[in-house]
């Protein structure tokens, strides 16, 4: 046994150490809060978007030529009691339109193939003028509705261009990550809301109105291509009016592959 005086001295030392650690943690937390309130508060929407572009891959991500993504998809049933559908081969090809003016719509060339084994679940494609699906050409009105439900992310690349507007919204969080929120509006109308992480400026959320309802996408599991610096979310979860519709698990991606327009023109016979 230690003498009583030494025991009291040791106890006092321990208590003092606990106070110092607790006080330091509180101060650090207060410091982070002050950063959010003060430094974050003076950042403009344009500055936040510029930081997000740089974090996503800089000019390669900002002005890409093309993109190919491959993975699998999990689709929830629309009707209660329906079955979940697994697309074990889910691919998307994009050729980007650097002159896009609208916040929503396909812009450029896009093709999506969804298959379960050898069975085609669906195909949809846009060659810059016409829309196709697995059955051939799609009527214009039906095509407009489909693309309005599907595209609204790419406008963030145009947010700093003339005619586009970036507006800062109240800060919030995405999956418990403190985030800036920005609304980007295109000169031809329409807007999208983006959640951008305060920690690393990753774009973790986009949301916009569609004919099907309020659409949200949550991005996670980011990986960076060492050759180009492109930062790709490998998991995308999609929601309409707060209900999960599907999730896409990307397993491979290629930045700026060579793609021809013929690849986006599905057979019409």
Domain containing 32 equals 4-42
Q: Using an 8 Å Cβ cutoff, are 98 and 193 in contact?
A: no
Q: Using an 8 Å Cβ cutoff, are 236 and 219 in contact?
A: yes
- Supply the mean pLDDT for the chain: 86
> Does the pLDDT of residue 35 top 90, yes or no?
no
User: Is residue 209 located within the same domain as residue 175?
Assistant: yes
User: Is residue 111 located within the same domain as residue 176?
Assistant: yes
Give the mean pLDDT of 51-62: 97
Q: How far is CA 198 from CA 37, 40, 235, 257, in A?
A: 12, 8, 20, 32
pLDDT-based confidence at residue 268 (cuts at 50, 70, 90): low
> Does the pLDDT of residue 10 top 50, yes or no?
no
User: Is residue 114 located within the same domain as residue 12?
Assistant: no
pLDDT in the model for residue 3: 52
CATH no. for residue 86? 2.50.20.10
Give the mean pLDDT of 1-6: 50
**Whole-angstrom distance, CA of residue 160 vs CA of residue 165:** 7
With left for phi above 0 and alpha for psi between -120 and 50, is residue 231 left, alpha or beta?
beta
pLDDT in the model for residue 11: 43
Q: Considering the domain boundaries, does residue 269 fall inside one?
A: no
User: Is residue 67 located within the same domain as residue 194?
Assistant: yes
- Exposed, middle or buried, 48 (CB in 10 Å: 0-12/13-18/19+)? buried
User: Is residue 143 located within the same domain as residue 181?
Assistant: yes
Q: Considering the domain boundaries, does residue 218 fall inside one?
A: yes
**Whole-angstrom distance, CA of residue 21 vs CA of residue 179:** 28
């Amino acid at each position: 046994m230690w003498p009583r005086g030494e025991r009291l001295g040791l106890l006092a030392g321990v208590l003092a150490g606990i106070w110092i650690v607790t006080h330091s943690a509180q101060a650090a937390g207060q410091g982070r809060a002050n950063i959010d309130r003060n430094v974050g508060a003076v950042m403009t929407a344009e500055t936040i978007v510029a930081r997000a572009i740089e974090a996503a891959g800089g000019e390669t991500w900002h002005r890409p030529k093309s993109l190919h993504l491959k993975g699998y998809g999990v689709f929830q049933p629309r009707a209660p009691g329906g079955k979940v559908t697994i697309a074990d081969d889910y691919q998307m090809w994009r050729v980007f339109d650097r002159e896009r003016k609208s916040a929503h719509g396909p812009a450029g060339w896009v093709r999506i193939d969804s298959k379960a084994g050898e069975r085609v679940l669906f195909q949809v494609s846009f060659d810059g003028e016409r829309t196709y699906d697995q059955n051939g050409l799609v009527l214009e009105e039906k095509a407009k509705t489909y693309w309005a439900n599907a595209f609204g992310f790419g406008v963030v690349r145009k947010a700093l261009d003339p005619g586009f507007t970036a507006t800062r919204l109240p800060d919030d969080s995405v999956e418990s990550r403190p985030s800036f929120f920005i609304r980007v509006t295109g000169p031809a109308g329409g807007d999208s809301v983006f959640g951008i992480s305060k920690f690393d400026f990753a774009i973790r959320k986009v949301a916009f109105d569609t004919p099907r309802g309020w659409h949200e996408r949550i991005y996670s599991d980011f990986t960076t291509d060492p050759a180009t610096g492109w930062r790709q979310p490998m998991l995308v979860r999609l929601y309409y009016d707060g209900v999960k519709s599907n999730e896409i698990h990307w397993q491979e991606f290629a930045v700026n592959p060579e793609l021809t327009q013929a690849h986006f023109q599905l057979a019409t016979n």
